[in-house]
Amino acid sequence: MAGLQSTTPQPTDIVLHSASKTLEVSFDNGQSFRLPFELLRVYSPSAEVQGHGPGQEVLQTGKRHVGILTLEPVGNYGVQPSFSDGHNSGIFSWDYLHFLGVNQENLWAQYEQRLQQAGVLRDDSMSVRGGPSCHS
């Protein structure tokens, strides 16, 4: 998902809506999506969130009120947001943003299922939950 696919629509407009905490992305095929900042943060393509391989994903919590402070272009293929919680290492390619938009409903359902399986709540703090290094 990280690269550019030749079949992926190209963005025509990207607007940060700070009040509603959404990123609006319009594509040249007529599709337009409003992606919640929380969804972008929870599904950041960074290694910090996705890990370095299958099964290494880090379940994100406490991101409901996260903001985006800046959104920087990365070449001709994507953008890099700086989130209000300090996370800024994820580069969102156009095809990944399109993927998030098209699959937003299913991704939310998967996220809620992962939360339930982990026995944590969406608004739990990451520091309260602890991490693998906190368990013996």
Closest Cα to residue 65, out of 132, 123, 117, 134? Answer: 123
Flag whether pLDDT at 133 surpasses 80.
Answer: no
Average pLDDT, the chain: 89
Lowest mean pLDDT among 80-84, 117-121, 123-127: 123-127
Of the CA atoms within 13 Å of residue 74, those in its CB half-sphere come to 18
pLDDT of 3 over the 50 cut: no
Query: Left, alpha or beta for 120 (phi > 0: left; psi -120 to 50: alpha)?
Result: beta
- Please give the sequence-ordered ranges of beta strands (E in DSSP) within 18-101, or none if there are none: 22-27, 32-36, 68-74, 78-83, 92-93
Q: State the amino acid at position 10 in one-letter form.
A: Q
pLDDT value at residue 25: 97
Model pLDDT, residue 99: 96
pLDDT band at 7; cut points 50, 70, 90 = confident
Give the three-class secondary structure for 82.
strand
pLDDT of residue 51: 83
pLDDT (tens digit, 9 = 90+) per residue, 8-65? Answer: 899 999 999 999 999 999 999 999 999 999 999 999 999 889 988 888 889 999 999 9
**What's the mean pLDDT in 74-97?**
95
- pLDDT score for 5: 65
Residue 54's pLDDT is what? 81
Domains, the chain, in order of start with CATH, read 11-129 (3.30.2020.30)
